[in-house]
Structure 1
Amino acid sequence: MTDDERFSLLVGVMGAGELWPVPDERIPPGVPMSAAYVPGIPRLGVPALLMSDAGLGVTNPGYRPGDTATALPAGLALAASFDPALAREAGGLIGREARSRGFNVQLAGAMNLARDPRNGRNFEYVSEDPLLTATIAAESVKGIQHEGVISTVKHYSLNGNETNRHWLDAVIDPDAHRESDLLAFEMAIERGAPGAVMAAYNKINGDYAAANDVLINGVLKGAWGYRGWVMSDWGATPGWECALAGLDQECGAQIDALLWGSEAFGDPLRAAHAEGGLASERLSDMVRRILRSMFAVGVDRAHVGPAPDMDAHNEIALRIARAGIVLLANRGALPLAPESSPRIAVIGGYAHAGVAAGYGSAAVVPPGGYAAVVPIGGQGLEAGMRNLYLLPSSPLSELRERLPRAQIEFDPGLGPAEAAMAARRADVAIVFAVRAEGEGFDGADLSLPWGQDAVIAAVAAANPNTVVVLETGNPVTMPWRNSVNAILQAWYPGQNGGRAIAEVLAGVVNPSGRLPITFPVDLGQTPRPELPDPATPWGTPTTIDYFEGADVGYRWFAKRGLAPMFAFGHGLSYTRFEYRDLVLGAGDTISASFSVANVGDRAGADVPQLYLTSAPGERCSRLLGFERVELEPGATRRVSIEADARLLAHYDGGAGTWRIAPGGYTVAVGASAVALRLAGGVELAGRAFGR
């Protein structure tokens, strides 16, 4: 390869779209516009790389007029299914739809741990737990890459807040980092073998993610032996020196020119190579890694595919929504009886039009387009993308279809008094509440916007049989929680979300979702009740000290003895499950087997979870394993789980190894992190292993 050919593979330029409306002459005519284009080398059979955002489907923020794709439920909804097989199907769907458009790299695999319930992008991510996050993310990557399309995992690492993310320094103890966010990436990379890893925007312990020699060269490529390439996030390459720290490819180069004054891997990198600052060996390694992933995944063999079966993809979106809806509370209000003829008031949340979706680079235009787009705005690069998107799956219409004998009245929920009047005329009041969340913005608090908390409180006071359906990308506070009879967490449920919600409310589908993130009573229970300098202007450097270390989410609550509003792993069903006959084994790790029985009167799915609750010298809570179990009434199934040894260990950075302490360990099987039903202890000899 010539030097010009080598350097050409190191820069991805954005196509013209809503975020960046300026055409780039480096993109040839006829190339579908997308997040990035990297030219191929025809004489060597190296295809061009065409990249698209794809966390929840193949996105299209104004790139390709009229193009639509399957709009999947939020990442948190997929994670709430606790179903790895479903995650792989979701990935396959994305891969097929990408290939049909000529795209061969999907910027998917969003998997930052949910450390802050205000983070605007939590809806894209998976969970607060390393094991659950790695399991779901890896299967999604496998599904995408099975179609001959490269998938990333992102954002490496600690992109846990959106406020001033380009100027944020995430400070964390390195050993705790290895036990939490980095462990999630490590396991996902081992299992999913993604072709690329995308670095984050923020700094980690003083160095930008794309310029972080410790994390890229030391951990990712060194300790883990990662063989793929590392790309930047868009506008996150502050200089050519990132190449020395392990960054292999600059993407969104035009934004780098805007933020940092030049495209780092263009003329500056060429000049550094000519002057000896960038060794030829390093240049070759950068190119080799990109080519290696292209050929390993098979993008050289994957041609533009046929139009995928969109009906089948719509069914996958529906199944994810069904499996991800979490019944948080139920005092006998649900399920509604399809054979009865109640008077039902459906109130608020644009339920007559559709269901909410998150905004930013993960927003997907569904077939037929959005039901509505409500502009919100703000400051910063992403302000123009900050909208409330409504996907055209109307819960109101779906309820009317599934409850044909009911008298259903709709009230928009514009104010408490009007909503209360509608509630008084009904036997059941169902209040839909939405919150617009997305890239570039964190929530100021956990309340519902636009006076919706007051509407719910008024409806609950007017009608004792009130059900609340939440369409949000994060936990919310619930000052009305004890006044309503049922609460359904629907997340952002995707293009078939209205149907899935109606099916769960009507009892056509038995709810089976489990929380992948803890719902605190309020922000006072979280490590940082206030974000640092929340009122500072966009562009102001800030620091977040992750002093909680590896104790993220439910682990933090366990260490502090705090009782959450709803625990990690929590979710109710219309049937009942029992756990029996726990048998434990010990060797290099801990194994457990137990029986799950459906002792109710209808079929359903349960998610038994195995937790480490104590280790030598410490009380703790760590998810060691889980399994989604589908059971008919009266049926029993045996479940076996073997823990990844790293989940029992602590990382010793001084020695560069994992260590399991000798002594007694206690584990428990439960329906959530706090609803533990079976427990037992084992002795481990202790050992050191790995890097």
Structure 2
Amino acid sequence: MTDATGARRAEAREEAVEAALGKLDLDAGTRLLAGQDMWSLPALPEIGLKSLVMSDGPIGVRGVRWTPDDPSVALPSPTALAATWDPALARLAGRLLAQEARRKGVHVLLAPTVNLHRSPLAGRHFEAYSEDPHLTGAIGTGYVLGVQDGGVATTVKHYVANDAETDRFTVNNVVAARTLRELYLAPFEAIVRDARPWGVMTAYNRVNGPTMTEHHHLVNEVLRGEWGFDGVNVSDWTAARDTRRCLAGGLDIAMPGPGTVYGEALAAAVRAGEADEALVDAAVRNVLRLAARVGALAGAEPAVTDPPAPVDGDALAREIARRSFVLLRNDAVLPLAPGGTVALIGAAARDARVLGGGSAQVFPDHVVSPLDGLTAALPAGALTHAVGAHPDDGLAPAGPGFALRAVCRDATGAVLGQVPLPGGQVQWIGDDLPAGVSHDTLHSVEITGTFTPGESGGHTFGTRGPGALTLTVAGRTLYDGVQATGDEPDPFEALLGTPLERGTVPLTEGVPVEVSLLHRLTGHPAAPLPGVLFSLLHLGPRRDPDELIAEAAEAARAAGTAVVVVATTERVESEGFDRTDLRLPGRQDDLVRAVAAANPRTVVVVNAGSPVEMPWRDDVAAVLLSWFPGQEGGAALADVLLGAEEPGGRLPTTWPATLADAPVTRVAPAGGELHYTEGLFTGYRAWDRSGTAPAYPFGHGLGYTTWEYEALELAPDAATVRVRNTGTRPGREVVQLYVAPVDDPAERPTRWLAGFAGVTAAPGETAEARIPLPGRAFEVWDEAAGAWTAVPGTYEIQAGRSVTDTRLRAPLEAGA
């Protein structure tokens, strides 16, 4: 489609929007600005408007039902996607997600998250891309372009400075204007400029006073005014708090519904002279424009009439995973030589964690664990597995061995409906209930079925979630009472609740028993996130941890290579809370040390979405970071370990050796405020200034070949870097370009990322990367002038493999 054709279609859509707007009265218009339920806006048949449906992402499309009986493709975590340093691959991921959204009847994907990695303690760190605004903006741009290629809207979130979870609903983040512009606003600005997103989601938190759903300056003056954003602004769920201030602050949609500050409340405010009807019309216009773009408004041709070719979800999940794996260390042990034996160690090797906790969670129809992947790839007899240590010795939702369903009944005990449960969790948010079931008639939900133990011994069962619960296993009632929500300050945490142990039952391997967890509703689901959420939890027999570690060491000693998989858990990395340390949970550090002492060819695979401390990293032969690798993670791991594919990832964030070394460790507010006192000095910018060496620097990552940087040529607006593959295998190199001021009057960091490009070459061949040098790389935000200002002078352009491994340098006069 030519630019002229696109412009004509956009003009026609605007005409259709104005025609539809002219037919709406105040009541209809204000209804359109408020969710009719948890995930959708009301249809208005009188103007040919369909109901607009939204769904959480970012690694999959959950759809309107947050239940495992409606599976979704699960891609690797956002940190993994950013570790590919490949915006084109991010665009392909977006196209797959648009495909999934269309399959599920979703018009708007509530993603991507482009907040920065200000601190490794941030609980939602895994759901954002990077510590660097340029890399974040580039990956986010690719993602948004891909989703919108498929005719589905995105909502770039969380605008802005939602960089931690502690007191996220109330915290006032105090950020200097220059820091806000050069770091935290920068990825949003780049995505608005380069991808023209159809939506933005404003955050819960305040920034320098106003809450983001009421922030006239940052929304109306910056986002819409300076940047020209013409999409819809939707609140984070329950973030809209005041009718008049939200409208004046540029908020278009208040979610979820039906109880919001818009709708009837907004119509009443207009009639009372407390709200401006012209602002209502502007918001309705934005919503109608969104509907027109996604094909939900009659008489308006959608922005995409021919979606891209179908994408194979399994294949793409596998490709992103192996392209994201970061080889942090390799003492000539990887790739594994053919014909050897492997001891695979760790409970996380069997029960992989493929995604992070919270609203980013989806339910894939299958998960390939490391044990599954290596079993399929290695010859019979070449692989053994030992548990060694569990990441979490606590209860987890019922999984392998359970055959469960959820049965819904009314007050008389009559069955209203039932659905199968792949796991032990019921998560029905809002009206996401099984067919034939409504909140008005629903009285109880029972998780029921059988459990066939995989081993004999004492099996512990528990519950999670608020309400009246009765737990029965093998004919024994383990609990019958009311479980309170607790005092968690975050409603997300309060709804999910704390896992509680209810009793232990001796069971025999292979002998099935009946299990039941009955949940009796005590009233209509409560705000702010109404729903039915509870879980049947289980913990298998646990042997002495020292014995398990000793067995793992023996297995390692008997094998040619030991591969230890260590991991975090949902109680470590999730929405709703921040971390308190960077340690691996359980006895996993002890396990790695014992295995490394038994076998010098020990490879450690780190299954985590965020930095963790690795005190043993210099004592093992290789360290491979797999992030949360998505549903095909185990297959991708086998590809990389066995050398069928190269680990292609580079760190999108600096990994500290210890938490004490990290530049920013304060994420909890004091007196309701969190001051970003570090200013511009976060991530590698701060490490450069402090002189402290991290465990692994920003941009670091090894492959299976070697590279020589041969030449750097500069033009005023670009750099060309020539590299040669000097190894014995084909490979991909991520050429990184940093700008460093020679004499700096502007109090800037030592250097910053200005661009990057991936190139491939066969052994002995050269490749050239042409990397643009944007003018913004030589500008600062002048707080006094309220504008971007060029800083003239001499800059050193540095090209290399990471921020601390720059191979070529050349001077450039710029900024005049």
- C-alpha distance 304-673 of structure 1, shift in aligned 2 (>3 A): closer
Counterpart AA for 2:706: R
Mapping for residues 405-444 of structure 1, pairs under 5 Å: 407-414=382-389, 415=545, 416-436=549-569, 437-444=573-580
CA deviations on 1:582-639 (whole Å, 9 max, x unpaired) are 11122xxx42112021111101111010001225425522111100112111221121
Partners of 2:777 and 2:373 in 1: CA distance:
43
Counterpart AA for 1:112: N
The answer on 1:127 being equivalent to 2:257 is no
The equivalent of 2:786 in structure 1 is 656
Deviates more, 1:313-322 or 1:618-627: 618-627
Number of matched pairs: 625
Maintained 8 Å contact 2:270/2:276:
yes
Partners of 2:183 and 2:556 in 1: CA distance:
46
The answer on 1:609 being equivalent to 2:739 is no
SS state of the match for residue 776, structure 2?
A: helix
Counterpart AA for 1:267: E
The equivalent of 2:361 in structure 1 is 363
Maintained 8 Å contact 1:100/1:304:
no
Counterpart AA for 2:554: M
Which of 634, 642, 647 lines up with 2:772 in the alignment? 642
Mapping for residues 524-543 of structure 1, pairs under 5 Å: 524-532=660-668, 542-543=672-673
The answer on 1:620 being equivalent to 2:618 is no
The answer on 1:451 being equivalent to 2:581 is no
The equivalent of 1:33 in structure 2 is none
SS state of the match for residue 327, structure 1?
A: strand
Mapping for residues 249-288 of structure 1, pairs under 5 Å: 249-253=253-257, 263-288=260-285
Maintained 8 Å contact 2:26/2:267:
no
The equivalent of 1:6 in structure 2 is 29
CA RMSD of aligned residues (A): 2.2
TM-score by length of 2: 0.74
The equivalent of 1:399 in structure 2 is 374
Counterpart AA for 2:730: A
The alpha carbon displacement at 1:116 in A equals 1.1
Maintained 8 Å contact 1:331/1:485:
yes
Maintained 8 Å contact 1:74/1:491:
yes
Partners of 1:561 and 1:288 in 2: CA distance:
52
CA deviations on 1:158-198 (whole Å, 9 max, x unpaired) are 11111221122211101110001101100011111111100
Which of 715, 723, 745 lines up with 1:596 in the alignment? 723
Which runs of 5 or more residues in structure 2 are unaligned? 1-23, 390-544
Percent identical among aligned pairs is 40
Partners of 1:64 and 1:309 in 2: CA distance:
28
- C-alpha distance 497-685 of structure 1, shift in aligned 2 (>3 A): closer
- C-alpha distance 174-308 of structure 1, shift in aligned 2 (>3 A): closer
The alpha carbon displacement at 1:441 in A equals 1.9
Partners of 1:309 and 1:679 in 2: CA distance:
42
The answer on 1:512 being equivalent to 2:639 is no
The equivalent of 1:29 in structure 2 is none
Deviates more, 1:402-411 or 1:96-105: 402-411
SS state of the match for residue 685, structure 2?
A: helix
The equivalent of 1:245 in structure 2 is 249
The alpha carbon displacement at 1:496 in A equals 0.5
Maintained 8 Å contact 1:668/1:676:
yes
The equivalent of 1:335 in structure 2 is 335
Counterpart AA for 2:814: L
The alpha carbon displacement at 1:50 in A equals 0.3
Maintained 8 Å contact 1:100/1:305:
no
Partners of 1:330 and 1:676 in 2: CA distance:
20
The answer on 1:666 being equivalent to 2:796 is yes
The equivalent of 1:372 in structure 2 is none
- C-alpha distance 139-40 of structure 1, shift in aligned 2 (>3 A): same
The equivalent of 1:352 in structure 2 is 350
Maintained 8 Å contact 1:73/1:317:
yes
CA deviations on 1:469-518 (whole Å, 9 max, x unpaired) are 01101011111111111000000000110011111111111111101111
Partners of 1:579 and 1:506 in 2: CA distance:
28
SS state of the match for residue 651, structure 2?
A: coil
The equivalent of 2:455 in structure 1 is none
The alpha carbon displacement at 1:264 in A equals 1.2
- C-alpha distance 291-496 of structure 1, shift in aligned 2 (>3 A): same
Partners of 2:349 and 2:660 in 1: CA distance:
32
The equivalent of 1:381 in structure 2 is none
- C-alpha distance 102-626 of structure 1, shift in aligned 2 (>3 A): same
The alpha carbon displacement at 1:306 in A equals 13
The equivalent of 1:147 in structure 2 is 150
Maintained 8 Å contact 1:195/1:294:
no
Partners of 1:685 and 1:644 in 2: CA distance:
11
Partners of 2:176 and 2:361 in 1: CA distance:
34
CA deviations on 1:15-69 (whole Å, 9 max, x unpaired) are 4xxxxxxxxxxxxxxxxxxxx1101222222221100002001025853562111
The alpha carbon displacement at 1:14 in A equals 3.7
Maintained 8 Å contact 1:70/1:310:
no
The answer on 1:560 being equivalent to 2:690 is yes
Partners of 2:132 and 2:225 in 1: CA distance:
24
The alpha carbon displacement at 1:299 in A equals 4.4
- C-alpha distance 410-308 of structure 1, shift in aligned 2 (>3 A): farther
- C-alpha distance 446-7 of structure 1, shift in aligned 2 (>3 A): same
Higher Rg of the two aligned structures: 2
The answer on 1:473 being equivalent to 2:609 is yes
Partners of 1:295 and 1:213 in 2: CA distance:
26
Deviates more, 1:395-404 or 1:561-570: 395-404
Partners of 1:271 and 1:552 in 2: CA distance:
46
The equivalent of 2:500 in structure 1 is none
